[in-house]
Amino acid sequence: MNHRKTDTPSTQAPPPLHQVLKEIEAVSSPVAGRATDYPPGWHIAPHTHTKHQLIYAVRGVMVVQADAGHWVVPPTRAIWMEAGMTHAIRCVGAVHMRSLMVAPEAAPKLLNGTQAVGISTLLRELIRAAMDVRQPYVANSRDGRLMRLILDELRALPVLPLHLQMPSDARLVRISEALQQNLGDASTVADWAQRLRVDAKTIQRLFVKETGMTFGQWRQQARLLRALQLLATGDKVIDVALALGYDSPSAFASMFRKQLGETPSAFFAEV
């Protein structure tokens, strides 16, 4: 596989998706690293592979859409994508992706399902080092020990609340699509019930059934994920807060800290 030892941008166009998938499937080692730089706005079409993938970028923000849900991923986070899960990726700004491909037999119990995870300082450096490992590597070698250490670190990944489950009920789809167009909309469940001519309790029951969240929780999570995209492209906190319907930057920052455990500036700081 073609790895780069630097995080500086590449002037070459990213390889075609079919070539990438072919190279991924050709690697027989338990763990492999792949480095690819993508220009702003690049879209990786829906695809799947037979290996697990830690989708990670040392620079840039990715929007990952899969059958299992929707995530926004800054440089301090990653997505553990289960083998066989169809997914697509959109780059918000330039993205320097440094992914890990893990054979299912090498990681039978690493993580339970596709999900967002935190990336420690140690794992970040291990991922960078993995980009220089030639494939296939010898198990009882420095490279082999490096890759085993990566597997150990993957077992300790903290799971993060960066997921948004989209509903499938036609009535909830109308609500979710409208909110995605205007997340500053402050309409209540009662307001939506009146518009859709359905009982408010029905809307709440369906949201919990299909997304695992109440209407209010779902809208807050949608706002959080949109905020991550806007902040990643350089929007100011005050502008993001007002665009998403918060009364003040402090109210937005309080929600952000409650959900992710740190302020927006700390969240986007490099580990």
| Sequential pLDDT tens for the chain (271 residues) | 443 444 554 557 888 888 888 888 888 899 999 999 999 989 999 999 999 999 999 988 898 988 777 888 888 789 999 999 999 999 988 899 999 999 998 886 777 788 889 888 899 999 999 999 999 999 999 999 999 999 999 988 888 777 788 899 999 999 999 998 999 888 999 999 999 999 999 999 999 999 999 999 999 999 998 888 888 777 899 999 999 999 899 999 999 988 888 888 877 765 4
User: So where are the chain's domains?
Assistant: 17-160, 166-268
Q: Does domain 166-268 have CATH number 1.10.10.60?
A: yes
Q: Measure Cα distances from 150 to 32, 187, 218 in Å.
A: 10, 46, 34
Beta bridge partners of 118: 77
Return the structure tokens found at 13: 């166009």
pTM of the model: 0.75
pLDDT for 24: 85
| Four-point Cα dihedral 210, 212, 216, 219, nearest 10 | -70
Return the structure tokens found at 62: 């990715």
Q: Measure Cα distances from 134 to 19, 53, 150, 168, 193 in Å.
A: 18, 18, 16, 44, 58
3-class SS at 202?
A: helix
Q: Please state, in angstroms and rounded to a whole number, the distance separating the CA atoms of residues 226 and 63.
A: 10
Q: Under 8 Å CB-to-CB from 247, ≥6 apart: which residues?
A: none
Closest-CA residue to 88 (of 112, 62, 119, 111): 62
Return the structure tokens found at 248: 């003040």
Beta bridge partners of 43: 90
Give the CATH number of domain 17-160; options: 1.10.220.150, 2.40.50.100, 2.60.120.280, 2.60.40.10: 2.60.120.280
pLDDT for 7: 55
Q: How many Å separate Cα 135 from the centre of its chain?
A: 27
